[in-house]
Chains A and B, each alone.
Chain A
Amino acid sequence: MAAAAGPAWIRDARHVQLAILALLLAINLIAVDFGADLLAAAVAVAAAVATQAGCSRLVGLPRVEWRSAVIAALSLTLLLRGDALWVHAVAAAVAIAAKFFVRVRGKHVFNPSALGIAVLIFATDHAWVSPGQWGTSAWFAVLLTLLAAWVLHASRRTDIALFYLCSHCGLLLVRAWWLGDPIAIPLNQVQSGSLLLFSFFMISDPRTVPDARPARLLFAVVVAVTAHWLAFQWHFRPALYAALVALSPLIPLLDRLFPADRFEWQAPATEGTPSC
């Protein structure tokens, strides 16, 4: 799946992700307001990069990998809402710190931004997510899909994004069929920008997804089923993030059951150097 051709910078999926997240933030600020805020973005980015730098120093990494920190911070900005700026700072710090300190056999357990969202929502009374604020304009969903497809092309192992989207849509369709609801209802539920962000930027984070393809498929289906159970039985609004975070500890188990090669962001430039 990796894009083999093109200039060096584009071969690193993180650059493409950064560009897309920045574009989404710009769209939010200029055209369709889905609630992100420039100041919150700045605070989240600053907190994420500072945490990344601090943790890198603490564990003795030779350089600060700022790109993934900024990606996590921008994802947080686009999805998390808080009634104070510190919410964004703490979420970003939690997200990045977990990358360094919650690891199993050298691999992150949690997707940083999903963990930041879940921790802030459960632990404080100041954070929430607004899944409906993206609007359901078809064009916007298409736009995001196209952009995200680009990421999919530029990064490896992101097949899980499609596995997840298919499982999620499939479950919505089955539910609508079982209830006898018109197709307009699952269509309304699917046309959400936050679902696309979740699929293409969170569950498909190559640093956390299971290593083997069958394990990724299984994980996507289990997260989708859990998210539906939380959303429709518990009427829990941040169901996607809660399901992903709650099930992420299963990934080391899946990697043991389905062994495969570990992912690294690019051809290892510095041999034997651990990264975060």
Chain B
Amino acid sequence: MLTPVRGAVLLAALILLPSSAAQAFCGFYVAKADARLFNKASKVVVANETKGINDHETAITMASDYEGDPKEFAIVVPVPTFIERKQIGVVEIKTIDHLDAYTAPRLVEYHDGDPCYVPDDTMMRATGSAPRPAPSAMHAPERYRGVTVEATYDVAEYDVSILSATESDGLANWLIDNGYRLPDGADAVLGSYIKQNMRFFIAKVNLDRMQLLGRGFLRPLQVRYHSAKFMIPIRLGTLNASGPQDLVAFLLSPRGRIETTNYQTVALPSGMDIPLYVKQDFGTFYKAMFDHAVAATGMRAVFLEYGWDMAWCDPCAADPLKNSELVELGARWIDGDAPTPFRGGRGGYSSVYVTRLHLRYDAKHFPEDLMLQETPNRDNFQGRYVLRHPWRGEADCKAGDRYFDGLPDRYSREADTLADLTGWDRAAIKTKMEENGQPFSSQRAGGFGAFFRRGLE
């Protein structure tokens, strides 16, 4: 028996990421908050090249959080057109994880200079086998009325079928009889997709081939198609969910930022100074901040975590992606697929702009699929949080006194920022800050020399 239709976007993704810290102009990069932080998080990569006002060449790669027995795994994804074998592929999970790490919200740190010598805060800047011919319109019995298995393919460790249907009952029966357990409400959603002329991409694991390939985990599936529809289907995925789920969508486009048109896309708070102790557990901070932002919007917004030209980053949270990786993820418009770091291309249409959207969704708050739109907006955005280390040395001068007298206020502002971002208790934050070297009393120079100097000033 196969498990529920796992929804539109799902697969397992728990691969360790490279943890090397990179140094960059915009602060020292120290940590990132990638999608591994969130339970029940799926990742989807959508590469879109708009060919005309209603013609999108789309590659959608789906990686779920599925950790169960591979033989229990199955997905049903509505697709807008018939899909040929050459339009389906598998992608290495490490490529998606690389993009996840590269676009993840990041923690950076600065160190204040000696206040006696630095006049002001200059730091404050902030394979599969050959296709089998499609069984010619397998005429199902009455029970499968309207269902046509248009094609079946062997795709690496998966058996893939492309179904069309005219009636949701027939389709539901077909799925149930083929070992898929349908959640309540699936009939209605399938019916809606059928009436919108969608077909169904159905994949389950072929254990024999999986063993033959020597794979211990399921690789993300990729489907590529031309269509007027530019969207991420999430409705089936909400049916069997036991609560809200997270989806991180990485959207690649030659043109610019991609946004949702039927839900608000909100940029997460970014660029603020936060207490130094957050460095010890950036993940906890980021999760709390995300939870807080979700609650503040009534769980009705899609959050922008990153939007940037893939040719550069500052600071970089991971090594740049290679041309080969971008092509693997569907950005087939770029110049070449060599395994060399992507440096952008000549002319606008060989560039890649990445938009990273993060949403927490359920059927109640996100009843519709995510409708997307590509815009020419190439403004940079990154989720970036700043640690500013105070000067820890001696500073026995007037500027030094001013500097140390000003620190408690600065720490208070950092505590306020953290409390506002996360909803954590202000007093508890201040206590932790004091325990971690950020006291709320001035640490100005003491001793006879300083006393004498102040007397003369």
Contacts and interface: CB of A to CB of B under 8 A. Distances in A.
Contact of B188 (A33, A34, A180, A187): A180
A156 interface: no
A236 B262 contact: no
A176 to B, nearest CB: 9
B263 interface: yes
Given A133-B264, A178-B195, A235-B230, A184 B364 contact: yes
B191 A132 contact: no
B263 A136 contact: yes
Interface in A180-215: 180-182, 184-185, 187-189
Interface of B: 53-54, 168, 188, 191-192, 195-196, 228-230, 255-256, 259-266, 297-298, 300-301, 363-364, 367-368, 371, 373, 375-379
7 contacts: A83-B375, A128-B373, A131-B261, A136-B264, A179-B191, A179-B192, A181-B367
A236 B261 CA distance: 11
A24 B452 CA distance: 60
Contacts of B373: 128, 130, 237
Given A132-B259, A132-B264, A133-B265, A181 B192 contact: yes
Contacts of A34: 264
A188 B195 contact: no
Which of B54, B376, B378 has the most chain A CB atoms closer than 10 A to its own CB? B376
B368 A132 contact: no
Contacts of B168: 180
Contacts of A137: 298, 300
A236 B192 contact: no
B54 A189 contact: no
Contact of B54 (A127, A182, A188, A235): A235
A84 to B, nearest CB: 9
B445 to A, nearest CB: 44
Contact of A135 (B195, B196, B300, B371): B300
A179 B195 contact: yes
A126 interface: yes
Q: What DSSP secondary structure best describes chain A's contact surface?
A: loop
Contacts, number: 87
A237 B373 CA distance: 7
Contacts of A237: 261, 371, 373
Contacts of B53: 234, 236
B264 A126 contact: no
Contacts of B230: 235
Contacts of A236: 53-54
A179 B196 contact: yes
Interface of A: 33-34, 81, 83, 125-128, 130-137, 178-182, 184-185, 187-189, 233-237
A130 B367 contact: no
A134 B375 contact: no
A185 B368 contact: yes
A236 B363 CA distance: 25
A232 B299 CA distance: 26
B368 A189 contact: yes
A179 B255 CA distance: 33
B376 A234 contact: no
Contacts of A126: 376
A234 B196 CA distance: 12
A128 B191 contact: no
B264 to A, nearest CB: 4
A81 B264 contact: no
Contacts of B367: 181-182, 184-185, 187-188
A235 B263 CA distance: 16
A156 B92 CA distance: 63
Nearest to A230: B54
B200 to A, nearest CB: 16
Nearest to B379: A83
Contacts of B266: 33
B229 A132 contact: no
B54 A180 contact: no
Contacts of A179: 191-192, 195-196
Contacts of B364: 184
B228 A128 contact: no
Contacts of B263: 132, 136, 188
